Amino acid sequence: MKEIRYRPIGVIHTPFTNIAGMPIQPSGAKGIRGTIRLDSRWVAGLKDLAGFSHIILVYHFHLSEGFRLHVKPFMDDRLRGVFATRAPRRPNPIGISVVKLLGVKGRTLRVENVDMVDGTPLLDIKPYVTKFDAVQTPRMGWLSGKAQKAAGVKADARFGPERGTSRNPAGRRE
Amino acid sequence: MKEIRYRPIGVIHTPFTNIAGMPIQPSGAKGIRGTIRLDSRWVAGLKDLAGFSHIILVYHFHLSEGFRLHVKPFMDDRLRGVFATRAPRRPNPIGISVVKLLGVKGRTLRVENVDMVDGTPLLDIKPYVTKFDAVQTPRMGWLSGKAQKAAGVKADARFGPERGTSRNPAGRRE
Note whether B27 contacts A: Cβ–Cβ < 8 A. yes
CA distance B109 to chain A (A): 12
Buried b (16+ CB within 10 A) or exposed e, A69-104: bebebbbeeeebbbbbbbbbbbbbbbbbbbbbbeeb
Q: How many domains does chain B have?
A: 1
Residue A85 maps to a domain: yes
Torsion angle, CA of B78/B83/B85/B89, rounded to 10 degrees? Answer: 90
The CA angle B130-B132-B133, to the nearest 5 degrees, is 65
Separation in Å, CA B35 to CA A107, B46, B107: 40, 14, 10
Residue B155 maps to a domain: yes
Lowest mean pLDDT among A6-10, A67-71, B21-25: B21-25
CA distance B33 to chain A (A): 17
CA atoms within 13 A on the CB side of B63: 16
Instruction: Give the residues across from B151 on adjacent strands.
Output: none
Question: What distance in Å separates the CA atoms of residue B33 and residue B45, rounded to the nearest whole number?
Answer: 22
- Nearest by CB to A51, which of B27, B128, B142? B142
Per CB-CB distance under 8 Å, the chain B contacts of A87 are none
Contact A6 B94 (CB under 8 A): yes
Residue A143 maps to a domain: yes
CA distance A35 to chain B (A): 16
Contact A147 B134 (CB under 8 A): no
Residue A173 maps to a domain: no
Reading chain B (174 residues) residue by residue, the pLDDT tens digits are: 789 999 999 999 999 988 777 877 666 788 999 999 999 999 999 999 999 999 999 999 999 888 999 998 877 889 999 999 999 999 999 999 999 999 999 999 999 999 999 999 999 999 998 877 888 888 888 888 776 666 666 676 666 654 333 334 343 333
What is the residue range of A41's domain? Answer: 10-156
Instruction: Give the residues across from B33 on adjacent strands.
Output: B112
Residue B2 maps to a domain: no
pLDDT > 90 fraction of chain A, expressed in percent and rounded: 58
DSSP one-letter code for B88 = S
Residue A112 maps to a domain: yes
Per CB-CB distance under 8 Å, the chain B contacts of A111 are none
Span A32-56, mean pLDDT? 97
**Do residues A115 and B114 touch, judged by C-beta distance below 8 A?**
no
Span A10-21, mean pLDDT? 90
Span A41-51, mean pLDDT? 97
Residue A147 maps to a domain: yes
Note whether A163 contacts B: Cβ–Cβ < 8 A. no
Contact A123 B4 (CB under 8 A): yes
Q: Which of residues 51-70 of A touch B (CB under 8 A)?
A: 51-56, 58, 60, 69-70
Stated pTM of the model: 0.87
Pairing of the two strands A80-81 and A70-71 = antiparallel
Per CB-CB distance under 8 Å, the chain A contacts of B69 are 42, 44-45, 47
- Tally A–B CB contacts below 8 A: 296
Contact B45 A81 (CB under 8 A): yes
Sign of the Cα pseudo-torsion (A160, B51, A153, A34, in order) = positive
Q: What is the CATH number of the domain that holds B141?
A: 2.40.30.70
Which residues make Cβ contacts (< 8 Å) with residue A159, sequence separation at least 6?
A: A19, A61, A64, A87, A88, A89
Q: Which of residues 115-154 of B touch A (CB under 8 A)?
A: 121, 123-144, 147-148, 150
Q: What is the DSSP string of A3-56?
A: -EEE---EEEE-S--SSTT-BSSGGGSTT-EEEEEE-GGGGGGGTTGGGBSEEE
Q: What is the pLDDT of residue B159?
A: 62
The CA angle A32-A126-B100, to the nearest 5 degrees, is 100
Residue B76 maps to a domain: yes
Q: What is the pLDDT of residue B110?
A: 98
Q: pLDDT by residue (tens digit) across A105-164?
A: 999 999 999 999 999 999 999 999 887 788 888 888 888 877 666 666 667 666 665 433
Q: What is the pLDDT of residue A132?
A: 79
